[in-house]
Every structure is written in C-alpha cells, then in structure tokens.
Structure 1
Amino acid sequence: MSVPQSALATSTAQSPPAAHVFRALLPITLAVFISFLSIGLPLPVLPLHVHNALEMSTLVVGLVIGAQFAAALFSRAWAGNLADTQGAKHAMMLGLMVMGLSGLTYMASLSFITTPTLSVWVLVIGRILLGCGESLIVTGALSWGIGLVGPQNAGKVMAWVGVAMYGAYAVGAPIGVAVNQDYGFEGISIAGTLLPLLSLPLLLKVRATAPTALRRTPFYKVLSLVWGAGMGLLLCSVGFGSLTAFVALLFADRNWGNASLAFPAFGVAFIAARMLFGHLPDKLGGARVALLCVLIEAVGLLLIWGAQSPAIAYLGAALTGWGYSLAFPGFGVEAVRRAPPESRGVAMGAYVAFLDISLGITGPALGAIAGAWGIGAIYLVSALVVSLSVLVAIALMRGANRKSTA
C-alpha cells in the first residue's frame, strides 16, 4: 500500500514555508545534536580503549562497536510503535534518559579495568543501552518532525535530524580526544551521562503531536513496504560504519598520529551537503539523488584505501560524508512515500533498522577482514559494497516510473 500521488500533491501544495519548517524543527534538532555528542565523543577513543587499554583484538573492537547498532535494530519496532501509540515526544524524551544511563555504565566498566574481559562485557551493556536510547531518539525525532511539518517535508526533516546527528559526530570526535587526554575514559563517561539529560529541557515546551495509531502495527507489514529503500540504506551505510569503527586504527597502523580530524572532515562535508542540497530528495526524487551520492561515497572510500598520506585520507573521509549525506534522506523519502500516515513511526523505525543491520554487521565482519588482510582492506571492501546500492536506486526509479505510467 503506497501513499496516493494525489495526496502527495495536495500536501505539497500546502507545504509550509522553509522558515516555518526550520523554526518548528529547531528544538528537536538541537536536542538530537546535544545528546548525540555522547556518541560522537567516544568515536575515536573507544576503539583504542578496547584495543590498547583492554588489549582486545580488532574483532572484539568490532563486536563492542556493533553492539550499539544491534541493540538499536532490535528496539526499532518497539520504538516505532511507542511513537505511534503514545506519541513521538514521549518516545524521544524516554530515549534521552536511557542514553544517559549508558554513560553511567561506561563509568562502571572502569571499575573492572584489571579484569579486561569483564570490563568489555560491562561496556557491551552500555553500548546496548546506548543503542536503545538512540533508537527512541531518532525514531521519535523523525516521526515528531514529520508530524509537525507534514510528510511533504519528510526529506527536510531527515536532512536536519541528520545534520544534528553527524554534526555531533564531527564536533564530538576532536573534543573526545581532548577530553580523553586530560580526563581519560572517565571524562568521556561523565559527558556521556550528562549530555542527553541536558537536552530534555529543550523539548518541554515543544507541541506534542497526537498519537497516530490506537494499536500496535505489526512490524513485518510496514517492513514489506520500505524494504527496497531500506536495502539501499543498508548497503550505503557500510561506508559510514567502516569510517567510525576503524579509521582510528587505520591511522595508528600507518603511523599518522590520531585520526580525530577524519571525523570533522566527514561531518563538515556531510553537513554542507545537507544544508546546500537537503531539499533535492523532496524536489527531484529520493532515488535519483541517492544514485549519484552513493557513487561519490564509493570514490571517497577508495581514496582512503589508497591513501599514502593523512591529507588524502581526510579528503576521502570528506567525500564519503558528502555522498552518504544525501543518500540517507534520498532512500528515506522513498520509504515515506510507501508507508501509510498512521504507521509513520513504525515506518521510520523499519527504515532506520536497515542502518542498524548494516552497522551491526559491518563492525565484526570488517574486523575479521582486517585481521585476515589488514586494516586497509576494509575500505576497498566497503567501496565495493556501497557501489551495490546503485542497483537499488535504479530499481526504485524504475518502480516509480511504472507506477506513474500505470
């Protein structure tokens, strides 16, 4: 069941001005940004903490990183139904509190630093809590934003929420390195506890949207509507996963110093693409935009693979961020157009679940590849996988053309 084209046309005609959309989304966007700093700060620190301080293998590093995304995956259906039946505002605020608990768990892991295996397991619990909190925040923010400004602005909602998320990664990474140098992993843990809680007051006065469903929608029914767009997201997200999980180890392996600037390079390019071209998926069609952008992302990953200097790796990270930036809302617009309004929260949860699957698999799979063929091989494999999402974009475009001529 897809959204009728006539309904989309009517919604587009009643689309609110861009300034109104920005004002309506600003508190939600700021809350996402502040809370996601607790994910951004550990990005360059956690892999090294597990690999060096706890003396674990790259496979274990991948498993610890991937635990967050696995938890987010398995909580998407619950988060989506919570947003639909109890309201997106409720889901997002609950997510902020759960994310704060993950920081406390990170801190608890330091009590077992002399027993590395136990410390890793406590870290995994923290990553699971972080994944559940992230699931509630993202699903709630997307559903709430679309409810406030209308489905005709779904691409803009995804663009601004994405700017907040990846802006937090870009800003958080160098701050995380600085905090770790001065205060150690304990400082990272304290920040991870406080930042989500500081976001709560921003949302208190924002108008809540009414629940869109009276009862739970079976997840599999909505999943069948968005799986095509979701597969595109799954494939193109491998590039993002390889960058966040392993670029710090790549820089260490090549004796280039710390990799903190790779994250701002990715994030600044990501934000610039969203701010300059975030309207294009709504205007030109999501699949068409995604097709071009995943090719740019693949080129960036190939540059990282072949880089002989940090500067080339930074350029590769920037191209990866630029391409991935619009691939997410590109495929996302296709998902929204195929889902009924009363199941919007579940649809967003189902769509983002493909990101979780991708990142959950990427960590351990690429960690095993690194163990067999070296860290650099990760980025060649990632480029090849990302390139496959071109086929998905073409299939979505052909499906849309058949519907329009029917």
Structure 2
Amino acid sequence: MTGSPQRLDRASAILLAKFVALTFLGFFDLGLPLGTLAPDVLAMGFGPAMVLTVIGIQSLVTIASRHRAGTFCDRAGARRTMLAGLSAATVAALLYLAVELRPVNAPAALVALLLAARILLGLAESLVLVGTLAGALVTLGPGRSWQVLALQGAAMHLGLILGVLAGMRIEDGLGPLAVPAAVVIVPLLAMALAAGIAVPDRPPSAARIAILDVLGRISQPGMILALATVPVAGSVLLLMPSVAAEHWRMPWPAFGALVLGYLCARAGAWRWRGRSVGASLLLLSLGAELCGQILLLTADGAALQLIGAFATGLGYSLVFPILGMAVLQRFPADLHGRAIGGYSAFQDLAIGIALPGAVLLLAWRDPGHVFGVGVLATAGAWVLALSYTRRDLTIAIGGGTG
C-alpha cells in the first residue's frame, strides 16, 4: 500500500535529494559508454550483429536479474543492495578500461571482456534501481511514494540520456581512454554518497512470492509502460545530435525540447497535492505522447519537429510514476522491492528492443519509420490504458515541500 499523501519537510527533502542524486549518478554511469560501444566493436573488426549483441546483452541481464534483485533487497535491505550494485558497476568499469588499453591484440578476447562488462552492468542496473527506489520508499514512508517515483524516475531517465551525450563529448574532446576512466570514477562517487545515507532497518521479508504471481499483478501496467517507452527510446536515438544531424535541421533544439517537455510535466505534477487523478492523467499523458509522435512522423519543418519532440517528452514523463503508484498499491510494503523491480523491468525490455530496432531501421529504411513504429506503440499503450483505467484507477498525488 502507498498511504495518504504527505508533504515533505526540510529533512525529508534533503534525504530524497540524496537518493535522487544517487540514482542519477548510477544511470549516468550506465549511459556514459553507450554512445561509444558501436565504434569500439566495429574497430575490433566485428560486424553489426556483434554490435547489437554487446548493446543488447545488458538489457537481457537486467530483465533476467530484476526479480532476484528485488528479492535480495526485500531480505538484505536497500543499502546493501545499492552498494552491491555500485560495486558491480565499478568492476565492470575496470573491464571497460582494460578493453580500451588493448593489453593484447586479440579481438575475440577483447570483445569477451566487453561482454563481461556489459553483463556486470546489467546486474548493477537491477541492484541500483531496486535499491535506490526501495530505500527511498522505506526511508520517506508510504505517504511520499509519489514524490519518490516522480523524482527517482526523472533521475533515472535523464541520467541515462545525459550520460550518453556526455560519453560522446568526453571521447571527442579527451580521447578514448577518458570514457572508461569516467565510468570508473562515477560509481566510486556514488558509493561514497550511498555510504552516508542511513536507511532504517526493516525486518527482512520472509514472504515468498513466485515470479509468475508478481507478473500477474504487474503485467498490464508493465505492458503500458513498455509500449510508451518504445517511441521515446527511438526518438532519443533519432534526436541525438550525432545521429540527427543527418536527418534534421535543428537536432540540438529538438533534443532539448524533448527534455524540456519531460521536465515541465514533472514540475507541474509536483504541485498537484492530494489529487486522485491517476486514470485521467495517464490517458492525457499517453494522448500527448501520441500527438508528439504523429507530429515527428509528419513534420516537414523545424517548428513542427520542436513541438512534436516537446509533446513526446511531456506525455511520457508521468507514465512511469503513475503506473508505479498503481503497482505499489497491489503489494504489501515488504514486497515493494520485488514489485518495483518487476515493473521497471518492462521499461528495460522496451529499451532493449527499441534501441537495436531503431538502429536497424535507420540502416535499412527512412528515419520516419522509427516514428511510425512510435505512433503504433503509443496508440497501443493508450488502448491498453483505457481498458486498465476502467477499473477506476485513482492515485492520490502528494507533492511540494512544506
């Protein structure tokens, strides 16, 4: 259960800010190498199939390990889960560094190290995400679940996007060794921050719940989240300046418009204290995202592209926290780690499919096909959400500091 909405006092706001910073650092670290992986693999002499394998294996590991990460968190505690995830990320970063140092002239050995790093990062992502979300929910209490999901979700999405951009800029400006060096430093900073966060001890959960039972409770909101994530993943790839320069006149403003729309929705919802608007807000959000994708698909000028990018970010922004609140309401507090872990895995599944799929579409087809897929996916999410909200989905939103 999530409890009645509560306003944040000063101490709670500072504590939430620490969890948000920790989540941002964790996902910023995950994003740093993403923009440089494809050139590295191609430089070793491998083809597109290996590129897709190296990029996609992390998502597969993340999805496969999410339920286990949630179980570990519910039993061992959020703080240990966070530190375990950041430790795995640090080891993965050292493997990245070894690959860039090229200690041997053996492409097969180097790509094996790279795959090992990606596997470790997949496990790290599961542990960091579940640990930070569960830790914030336990520490701040059920009445502040909306604030936790809204801000933690924003830190997760923006950390990943900005990490990708920063990684490409760092490599361009400082050389190939700078990215793995940064990937080593960031989790160490996050570990120092996590070590200073006191998470209240909660009796370890003795509850057993089968993964199929968890999936049964979260499958519908999870599928809505996955379908809503597909167009955003494709849009982020297409609007990323290094790619978009080939297709659009104003790549940086369009990318900025998407991020601005995302932030505007979060800022607006933060002020809606105590309103039970889950169903209507979910449908409105998905409708805005659908309009944005249609505009991006049909845009014949920079102005429509900017509006479409803004609407896409605006619409997608609140989907994760709205459905996350609905998921938490279906589980007791001692199973929240497994609940939020399983729910967020649908987002990873969508990203793991959408990004390689968008790369293939770019190679074989006009970029408009990526937005065409986005239109279909968002329309499917809206139809599923309409069916889901007929059960009178009401979510009390609490926000603001007080």
Give the TM-score normalised by the residue count of structure 1.
0.84
Report deviation, 1:19: 4.5
1:130 matches 2:147? no
1:80 to 60, 70, 73: 70
Aligned to 1:65: 55
1:254 to 247, 252, 255: 247
Answer yes or no: is the 8 Å Cα contact 1:238–1:382 preserved in 2: yes
Q: Matches of 2:40 and 2:310 in 1, distance apart?
A: 25
SS of residue paired to 1:399: coil
Does the C-alpha gap of structure 1 residues 18 and 275 become closer, same or farther in structure 2, counting only changes over 3 Å? farther
Does the C-alpha gap of structure 1 residues 401 and 323 become closer, same or farther in structure 2, counting only changes over 3 Å? closer
Q: List per-residue Cα deviations over 1:200-219 (Å, max 9, x = no partner).
A: 22222322231450255322
Does the C-alpha gap of structure 1 residues 147 and 327 become closer, same or farther in structure 2, counting only changes over 3 Å? same
Aligned to 1:286: 278
1:40 matches 2:31? yes
Q: List per-residue Cα deviations over 1:23-43 (Å, max 9, x = no partner).
A: 231111111122322133334
SS of residue paired to 2:392: helix
Answer yes or no: is the 8 Å Cα contact 1:103–1:193 preserved in 2: yes
Q: Matches of 2:163 and 2:252 in 1, distance apart?
A: 9
Q: List per-residue Cα deviations over 1:186-233 (Å, max 9, x = no partner).
A: 211111111011012222232223145025532222221111111111
2:211 to 211, 219, 226: 219
Aligned to 1:92: 82
Q: Matches of 1:107 and 1:264 in 2, distance apart?
A: 31
Report deviation, 1:317: 3.5
Aligned to 1:104: 94
Aligned to 2:388: 396
Report deviation, 1:55: 6.7
Q: Aligned residue pairs: how many?
A: 391
Letter paired with 1:99: A
Q: Which runs of 5+ in 2 are unaligned?
A: 395-402
Answer yes or no: is the 8 Å Cα contact 2:265–2:314 preserved in 1: yes
Answer yes or no: is the 8 Å Cα contact 2:70–2:341 preserved in 1: yes
1:384 to 354, 373, 376: 376
Report deviation, 1:323: 1.6
Q: List per-residue Cα deviations over 1:279-308 (Å, max 9, x = no partner).
A: 659733434322111222233333443455
Q: List per-residue Cα deviations over 1:366-391 (Å, max 9, x = no partner).
A: 44444443433112112211221112
Q: Percent identity?
A: 28
Q: Matches of 1:112 and 1:281 in 2, distance apart?
A: 57
Answer yes or no: is the 8 Å Cα contact 1:293–1:326 preserved in 2: yes
Q: Matches of 1:250 and 1:306 in 2, distance apart?
A: 19
Answer yes or no: is the 8 Å Cα contact 1:156–1:279 preserved in 2: no
Q: Matches of 1:172 and 1:344 in 2, distance apart?
A: 28
Q: Matches of 2:56 and 2:10 in 1, distance apart?
A: 38
Answer yes or no: is the 8 Å Cα contact 1:273–1:322 preserved in 2: yes
Q: Matches of 2:52 and 2:233 in 1, distance apart?
A: 10
Q: List per-residue Cα deviations over 1:223-274 (Å, max 9, x = no partner).
A: 21111111111111112322344544742543869x6666544334323321
Aligned to 1:17: 8
Aligned to 1:201: 192
Letter paired with 2:81: A
Q: Could you list the runs of 4 or more consecutive aligned residues of structure 1 that deviate by over 6 angstroms after TM superposition? A: none
Q: How does 1:263-342 map to 2 (within 5 A)?
A: 263-278=255-270, 283-308=275-300, 313=305, 315-342=307-334
Q: Which runs of 5+ in 1 are unaligned?
A: none
Return the structure number with greater helix share: 1
SS of residue paired to 1:185: coil
1:148 matches 2:143? no
Does the C-alpha gap of structure 1 residues 240 and 115 become closer, same or farther in structure 2, counting only changes over 3 Å? farther
Answer yes or no: is the 8 Å Cα contact 1:44–1:260 preserved in 2: no
Letter paired with 1:122: L
SS of residue paired to 2:175: helix
For the aligned residue pairs, the C-alpha RMSD in angstroms reads 3.1
Report deviation, 1:170: 4.7
Q: Matches of 2:355 and 2:131 in 1, distance apart?
A: 26
SS of residue paired to 2:18: helix
Give the TM-score normalised by the residue count of structure 2.
0.85
Answer yes or no: is the 8 Å Cα contact 1:250–1:375 preserved in 2: no
